[in-house]
Amino acid sequence: MSTRRDFIKNTGLLMGTSLLADPEALYAAEKQKMSGNGRLKLRFRPYTLNLKHAFNLATSSRTTTPVVLTELEYEGTIGYGEASMPPYLGESHETVSRFLSKLDLSKFDDPFQMENILDYVDHIEPGNRAAKASIDIALHDLVGKLIKQPWYKIWGYDSSITPVTSYTIGIDTADVVRQKVKEAEPYKILKVKLGRDTDKMMIETIRQVTDKPLCVDVNQGWKDRSFALDMANWLHERGVVFIEQAMPKEQVDDNAWLTEHSPIPTIGDESVQRLDDVLKAHKVYSGINIKLMKCTGMREAHKMLTLGRALGMKIMMGCMTETSCAISAASQLSPMVDWADLDGALLISNDVYRGTEVINGKVTLSKLPGIGIKKI
């Protein structure tokens, strides 16, 4: 046991550096504990998340979210993953199941060859980012379990410096908004959905109930940059700490102008999907919102975080409505971010895992290996 601990410690748990830069070295360390003739086995099933409240955005409303739950098994060890498909991703139970059915992961007999496996998955066909994330998360969970370490430790992160998470208040009537705010009492910061003609009512109603810091997500709902700046100034005066995706992602110059003049930071969300988008977002937004379902999973999220930090950008770790599986996977990166919006599992009534918890508003990582979850 001490030999393994020394190996993991001395392999270089450096800030922002993955142990898996040399997967062959890791595999050699653990190979003696494996029987050696295993193959990766993939299983998946559709599931539907039920939301505690209707989720109302600038342009849509829903009460459920489709997900697909995945399992990757190797030599009796199982890693868990998840694809969550809110409407704007353009994925569904059918598309994810069809994509996963195309994969032949049984060709891989070494789960530590993560780059090879995930490159294979990514190049089966374009798009399908949530489907790809479900494999990435399950593979990270599996390998972490084989190493017997959680991923925040593999990446060298300090679990004591995780941020608080925001709690989302969707667009609704004043009475329902007040009810939601009261339900969110344990949380230190609230994320408010805006983008309709009720924006000021939403903020004023919340301010009748609490003086907690707020952040707002406009979901591309504002179209005019002068209006957006007026709102930014008005929100700043009312304790809002940042604005997420104020205007449509296609309005690059307008978003850059707003960032230059806004008294509070701007965050790119819909405009920042994968690694290539991070450099494009530099100087257009103050920061980026990384979500596993947008970027194909933990591998690419880790790269996006590293690049964003190198560019001096603010980093937000976000989520969809998800089970504790995907939330716990994203939480492994949380010690390195400025803000976290990892409340997705708190918004549903039928979670199937237990993992990362929110204690006194703070993201609190599990000590379990892999992504840190177990089935309920």
* Residue 67 contacts residue 229 (beta carbons within 8 Å): no
- Separation CA 16–CA 317 (nearest Å): 15
DSSP 237: T
Euclidean distance between CA atoms 12 and 134, whole angstroms: 28
Q: Does the pTM exceed 0.85? A: yes
**What is the predicted pLDDT for the residue at 3?**
39
- 93-133 per-position pLDDT tens digit: 999 999 999 999 999 999 999 999 999 999 999 999 999 99
**Parts of the chain belonging to CATH 3.30.390.10:** 2-50+65-153
Distance CA 66, CA 47 (A): 6
HSE of 109, CA atoms in CB hemisphere, 13 A: 6
The predicted structure's pLDDT at residue 62: 77
For CATH 3.20.20.120, the residue range(s) in the chain are: 157-375
pLDDT reported for residue 4: 38
**Contact between 313 and 282 (Cβ < 8 Å):** yes
* Residue 190 near residue 184 (C-beta atoms within 8 A): yes
Alpha carbon dihedral 276, 113, 322, 86, in 10-degree steps, equals 40
Report the C-alpha gap between 203 and 245 in whole angstroms: 17
Q: H-helix or E-strand containing 88?
A: none
The CATH label, of 1.10.540.10, 3.40.50.150, 3.30.43.10, 3.20.20.120, for the domain at 157-375 is 3.20.20.120
pLDDT per residue over 207-263, tens digit each? Answer: 999 999 999 999 999 999 999 999 999 999 999 999 999 999 999 999 999 999 999
CATH label, 2-50+65-153, candidates 3.30.390.10, 3.40.50.800, 3.90.1150.10, 3.40.50.620: 3.30.390.10
Which DSSP helix (H) or strand (E) runs through 349?
Answer: none
How many Cβ atoms are within 10 Å of 19's Cβ, its own excluded?
22
What pLDDT score was predicted for residue 38? 80
